[in-house]
């Protein structure tokens, strides 16, 4: 039977090349801003595929990247999986031991390395047997001697711009990404061709993160993490223009790209959009008039941030997802029957993590094993399933047993669902604070505190307590020049009005920065370790001696 019927990535690239040959792919790089058309992109991608073949890469082999967001990285997004090989994006912010573990676990044949990350990977590879037999290619026009890596441009140069892209099965592994694992070893999540296809198609629905051929799409979310939320695939499916922000873009770089390239859709973690807000509030003029939509996810988008962008006519779509979900699970679109509601109601809904994406199903199970009512109050652990949700971890049968039940993925996220179906994340099962036998949502307190003027970041963690099992402590990062005493007064009196007394943090501590994980989330584990001074709270017991210490 002739092939080509499976759900694979190939048609997305084919369509963009044929329908939009002149649409651009722009990238900020070490070598300045680059511009290619889809036609050129298709040629270069074919040359990459031929070069991989010549290098001996076969169907099912793993090809890794260690790169920022740029056009060459994007060439691997179709160039690798469309040949039947598997693209493994490595997070360069991980500690060396994790990188060694991942390269070994994935059995990578070749790694494409950004020049600015050469030292990092050379350090991880030095003397590490995990890297034996791994070849490197430098993502630029110059090689890297220390890695014996030829330049990418040289690697692909002599190859044909024609490639006979094979018919693949939907089950063919196409991608691989490791979750950063706040505890223990990272776990690999494999994306098949059909998972990426269905994630792209669902993203393209009006209830996903839809894009059009008139859009200019800038994923700030890293391409090394869950395929930049699938945006490079979705933008290609749409025939949109791509803009890649390159190595460590700061707010000024993002502002320049938005203005000069006319970005209409962008996406990233809250810190990115808080950073741009701060930059503008410092008095820098930035023209946001082209920007229609900003997708914020990976961590909770504070309501104040949603409102700030609203005031500038930029719609924030708050989205929730996970590596295990390729990653999109929910998006905070406003339901039609809420369009007549007052702004406050609307913004409260839109600040929640949102409505489940079409194609997925979920259930929320409380401590007694019962499904919670959708009343916005009851909470439990979210379980989810669907075509782009993984069913297992890569080579980790023991993790499968813990994290999957009856075909559902146990997300580890504690959520409420309101009568309109909006899911709101109230905690991670690991971070929930249990005080006097009752749950306190650390996330809700954090969001409440972050809404105060002068607060840049806030994280709330539970400190083991003799009498109450645990008590909340808030760690706050303030903007420059803020009167701290006055701020604490404001926070304490404000929270007292909003929350029951036993929810109020026993202490508010000022720190310079909330420690972050390799994917930009608050690392409460590091926070506990760095600021574990139990004397902050009366009656606290050292964490090691706490009755339920892990």
CB nearer to ligand ADP: pick between 114 and 446:
446
84: left (phi over 0), alpha (psi -120 to 50) or beta: left
Q: Looking at the DSSP assignment, which residues form a beta bridge with residue 503? A: none
Q: Is 434 a catalytic residue?
A: yes
Q: Minimum distance between the CB of residue 413 and ligand ADP, rounded to whole angstroms?
A: 5
Q: Which of 324, 444, 446, 470 is catalytic?
A: 324
Nearer residue to ligand ADP within complex by CB, 79 or 321: 321
Of 142, 153, 439, 509, catalytic: 439
- The catalytically annotated residue of 45, 65, 89, 179 is 179
Residue number, 48 or 356, with CB nearest to ligand ADP? 356
Kindly state the smallest distance separating residue 448's Cβ from ligand ADP, in Å.
Answer: 15
Q: Which one of the listed residues 205, 434, 466, 529 is annotated catalytic?
A: 434
- 258 secondary structure, DSSP code: H
Q: Which is nearer to ligand ADP, 260 or 361 (CB)?
A: 361
In the bound complex, what is the minimum distance in angstroms from residue 152's beta carbon to ligand ADP? 26
| Minimum CB–partner distance for residue 465 and ligand ADP (Å) | 25
With 0-12 CB in 10 A as exposed, 13-18 as middle and 19+ as buried, what is 322?
buried
Query: d(Cα 349, Cα 223) in Å, to the nearest integer?
Result: 29
The kind and range of the H/E element at 157 are: helix 152-157
132 phi-psi bin (left φ>0, alpha ψ -120 to 50, beta other): beta
324 is catalytic: yes
Dist. CA 139–CA 69, nearest whole Å: 11
**Residues engaged in binding ligand ADP (CB under 6 A):** 179-180, 225-226, 297-300, 318-323, 327, 353, 411-413, 425, 428, 519
Q: Of 130 and 403, which CB lies nearer to ligand ADP in the complex structure?
A: 403
DSSP character at residue 366? -
Cβ atoms < 10 Å from Cβ of 538: 12
Q: Give 550's DSSP letter.
A: -
DSSP notation for 401-443: HHHEETTEEEEEEEEEE-TT--EEEEEETTT-EEETTEEE-HH
Considering the complex, what minimum distance in angstroms separates the CB of residue 519 from ligand ADP?
4
* E strand intervals along 7-133: 24-29, 32-37, 62-66, 86-89, 108-113
Least gap, CB of 30 to ligand ADP (angstroms):
26
Whose Cβ is closer to ligand ADP: residue 36's or residue 521's?
Answer: 521
Partners of 262 in beta bridges: none
Kindly state the tokens that stand for 543: 């964490």
Chain position whose Cβ is nearest to ligand ADP:
323
Active site residues: 179, 324, 434, 439
């Amino acid at each position: 039977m002739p092939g080509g019927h499976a759900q694979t990535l190939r048609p997305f690239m084919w369509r963009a090349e044929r329908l939009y040959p002149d649409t651009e792919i722009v990238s900020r790089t070490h070598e300045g801003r680059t511009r290619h058309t889809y036609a050129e992109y298709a040629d270069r991608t074919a040359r990459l595929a031929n070069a991989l073949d010549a290098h001996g890469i076969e169907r099912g082999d793993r090809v890794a990247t260690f790169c920022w967001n740029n056009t060459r990285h994007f060439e691997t997004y179709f160039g690798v999986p469309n040949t039947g090989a598997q693209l493994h994006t490595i997070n360069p912010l991980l500690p060396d031991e994790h990188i060694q573990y991942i390269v070994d676990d994935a059995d990578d044949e070749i790694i494409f390395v950004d020049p600015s990350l050469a030292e990092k990977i050379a350090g991880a590879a030095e003397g590490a047997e995990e890297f034996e037999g791994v070849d490197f290619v430098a993502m630029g026009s110059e090689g890297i001697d220390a890695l014996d890596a030829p330049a990418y441009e040289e690697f692909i140069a002599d190859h044909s711009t024609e490639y006979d892209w094979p018919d693949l099965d939907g089950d063919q592994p196409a991608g691989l990404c490791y979750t950063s694992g706040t505890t223990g070893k990272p776990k690999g999540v494999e994306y098949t061709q059909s998972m990426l296809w269905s994630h792209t198609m669902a993203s393209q629905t009006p209830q996903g993160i839809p894009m059009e051929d008139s859009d200019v799409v800038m994923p700030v979310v890293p391409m090394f993490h869950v395929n930049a939320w699938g945006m490079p695939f979705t933008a290609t499916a749409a025939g949109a223009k791509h803009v890649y922000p390159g190595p460590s873009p700061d707010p000024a770089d993002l502002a320049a790209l938005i203005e000069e390239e006319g970005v209409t859709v962008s996406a990233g973690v809250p810190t990115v959009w808080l950073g741009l807000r701060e930059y503008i509030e410092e008095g820098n003029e930035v023209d946001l008039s082209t920007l229609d939509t900003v997708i914020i996810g990976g961590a909770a988008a504070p309501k104040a941030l949603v409102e700030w962008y609203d005031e500038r006519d930029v719609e924030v779509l708050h989205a929730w997802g996970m590596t295990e979900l390729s990653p999109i699970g929910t998006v905070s679109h406003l339901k039609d029957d809420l369009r007549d509601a007052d702004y406050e109601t609307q913004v409260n809904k839109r600040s929640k993590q949102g409505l489940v994406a079409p194609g997925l199903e979920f259930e929320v199970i409380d401590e007694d094993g019962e499904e919670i009512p959708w009343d916005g109050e009851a909470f439990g652990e979210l379980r989810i399933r669907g075509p782009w949700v993984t069913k297992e971890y890569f080579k980790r049968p023991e993790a499968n047993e813990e994290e999957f039940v009856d075909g559902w993925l146990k997300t580890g996220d504690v959520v409420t669902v309101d009568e309109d179906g909006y899911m709101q994340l109230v905690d991670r099962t690991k971070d929930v604070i249990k005080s006097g036998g009752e749950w306190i949502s650390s996330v809700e307190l954090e969001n409440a505190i972050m809404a105060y003027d002068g607060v840049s970041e806030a994280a709330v963690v539970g400190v083991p307590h003799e009498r109450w099992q645990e008590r909340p402590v808030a760690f706050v990062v303030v903007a420059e020049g803020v009167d701290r005493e006055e701020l604490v007064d404001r926070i304490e009196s404000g929270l007292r009005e909003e929350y029951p007394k036993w929810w109020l943090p026993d202490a508010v501590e000022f720190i310079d920065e909330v420690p972050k994980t390799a994917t930009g989330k608050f690392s409460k584990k590091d926070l506990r370790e760095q600021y574990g001074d139990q004397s902050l709270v009366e009656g606290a017991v050292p964490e090691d001696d706490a009755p339920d210490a892990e």
